[in-house]
Amino acid sequence: MTKKVTDVNEYGEFGLIDHLTKSFGSTNPSTLKGIGDDAAIIKNAKDYTAISTDMLMEGIHFDIRYSPLKHLGYKSVVVNLSDIYAMNVIPSQITVSMAISSKYSVEALEEFYDGIKTACDFYNVDLIGGDTTSSLKGMAISVTAIGTIADKSKITYRSGAKKGDILCVTGSLGAAYLGLQILEREKQLFLSDKQMTPELDSHTYLIERQLKPEANKAAIEYFDKIGLIPTSMIDISDGLSSDLMHICKQSDLGAFIEEDKVPMIEEAKAAALVFNMDPITCALNGGEDYELLFTLDPMDIEKIKFMPDVHIIGEMVDKKDKLTLHTPGGSIHPLKAQGWNHF
343 touching a copy of itself, by CB under 8 A: yes
- Least CB distance from residue 337 to a copy of itself, whole Å? 17
16 touching a copy of itself, by CB under 8 A: yes
Q: Which is nearer to a copy of itself, 140 or 283 (CB)?
A: 140
190 touching a copy of itself, by CB under 8 A: no
CA distance linking residue 293 with residue 169, whole number of Å: 5
Handedness of CA 7, 236, 145, 250 (dihedral sign): negative
Residues 231, 161 contacting (CB under 8 angstroms):
yes
Q: Which is nearer to a copy of itself, 114 or 300 (CB)?
A: 114
| Residues of span 53-92 touching a copy of itself by CB under 8 A | 53-55, 57-61, 92
231 touching a copy of itself, by CB under 8 A: no
| Residues of span 138-157 touching a copy of itself by CB under 8 A | 138, 140, 142, 144, 146, 148, 150
Q: Which of 2, 45, 65, 302 binds a copy of itself (CB under 8 A)?
A: 45
* Geometric angle at alpha carbon 265, from 211 and 64, rounded to 5°: 10
10 touching a copy of itself, by CB under 8 A: yes
33 touching a copy of itself, by CB under 8 A: yes
CA distance linking residue 296 with residue 283, whole number of Å: 21
Q: Where are the alpha helices (DSSP H) in the chain?
A: 12-21, 69-85, 106-123, 175-192, 204-211, 217-226, 240-251, 266-274, 279-285
Q: Which of 107, 201, 266, 302 binds a copy of itself (CB under 8 A)?
A: 107
51 touching a copy of itself, by CB under 8 A: yes
Give residue 213's Cα distance to chain centre. Answer: 10
28 touching a copy of itself, by CB under 8 A: yes
User: What pairing do the DSSP bridges indicate for beta strands 323-326 and 292-296?
Assistant: unpaired
Q: Which of 2, 65, 133, 153 binds a copy of itself (CB under 8 A)?
A: 133
Stretch that binds a copy of itself, among 48-56, 185-193, 278-286, 327-335 (CB under 8 A): 48-56
- Which 8-state DSSP code applies to residue 3? P
Taking the alpha carbons at both ends of the chain, their separation in whole angstroms is 28
Stretch that binds a copy of itself, among 41-49, 249-257, 282-290, 309-317 (CB under 8 A): 41-49
Give whole-number Cα distances, 170 to 258, 295, 316, in Å.
15, 11, 17
98 touching a copy of itself, by CB under 8 A: yes
333 touching a copy of itself, by CB under 8 A: no
- Which backbone phi and psi does 336 adopt, to 5 degrees? -115, 150
Q: Which of 2, 106, 302, 334 binds a copy of itself (CB under 8 A)?
A: 106
224 touching a copy of itself, by CB under 8 A: no
- Least CB distance from residue 69 to a copy of itself, whole Å? 12
Closest CA to 240 of 206, 263, 219: 263
Q: Which is nearer to a copy of itself, 111 or 208 (CB)?
A: 111
CA distance linking residue 330 with residue 244, whole number of Å: 21
- Which 8-state DSSP code applies to residue 46? S
